């Protein structure tokens, strides 16, 4: 199988073993793309390299799932719908990141600020004395995480199905 066509073309079928290997590569590239959000990269070129890599990862994820679903005798519509949902979530994240990294200074590393923000959100999420605001914030965090959870669960669903002749 052509390695480039594996991630770019939706033609053909994909067995379980090749699906899991291709999916591991897609998820590794997705995790590695977080490096593109470092202060040095965002100061030079903004969040656009990250956005482009995420668009490529999303396309590869969709293509791999379409091939696997075809191998199991299922329709590709579910994979496309999940990809659209994930794409919308990533678009929102890129817009938010573009706001945060507009004037990043390469000499200043923003990771301590991100860690502080994460700790503040976790403190709010698990603080019982904010009443209804805590519930609203917890629901918003859940909604923000849903595309990642849905895509991971769908990958399990597609990968564990039996192939049809």
**Does residue 90 sit within a domain?**
yes
Per residue in 60-111, pLDDT (tens digit) is: 999 999 999 999 999 999 999 999 999 988 888 777 777 766 654 544 555 5
> What is the pTM (predicted TM-score) of this model?
0.76
**Does residue 88 sit within a domain?**
yes
The count of structural domains within the chain is 1
**Does residue 27 sit within a domain?**
yes
Please provide the average confidence, as pLDDT, over all residues in the chain: 82
**Does residue 23 sit within a domain?**
yes
Cβ(154)–Cβ(65) below 8 Å:
yes
**Does residue 121 sit within a domain?**
no
**Does residue 53 sit within a domain?**
yes
**Does residue 64 sit within a domain?**
yes
CA distances in angstroms from 36 to 85, 121, 131, 140, listed in the order given: 23, 23, 38, 26
**Does residue 123 sit within a domain?**
no
Residue ranges making up the domain that contains 33: 3-106+147-160
């Amino acid at each position: 199988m052509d390695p480039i066509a594996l991630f770019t073309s939706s033609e053909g079928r994909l067995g379980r073993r090749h699906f899991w290997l291709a999916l591991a590569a897609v998820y590794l590239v997705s995790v590695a793309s977080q490096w593109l959000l470092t202060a040095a990269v965002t100061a030079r070129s903004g969040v656009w390299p990250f956005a482009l890599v995420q668009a490529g990862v999303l396309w590869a994820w969709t293509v791999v799932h379409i091939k696997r679903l075809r191998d199991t005798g299922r329709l590709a519509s579910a994979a496309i719908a999940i990809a659209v949902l994930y794409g919308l979530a990533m678009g929102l994240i890129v817009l938010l990141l573009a706001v945060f990294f507009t004037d990043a200074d390469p000499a200043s590393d923003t990771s301590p600020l991100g860690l502080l923000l994460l700790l503040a959100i976790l403190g709010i999420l698990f603080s019982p004395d904010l009443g209804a605001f805590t519930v609203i914030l917890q629901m918003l965090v859940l909604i923000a995480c849903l595309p990642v959870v849905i895509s991971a669960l769908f990958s399990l669903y597609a990968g564990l199905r039996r192939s049809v002749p």
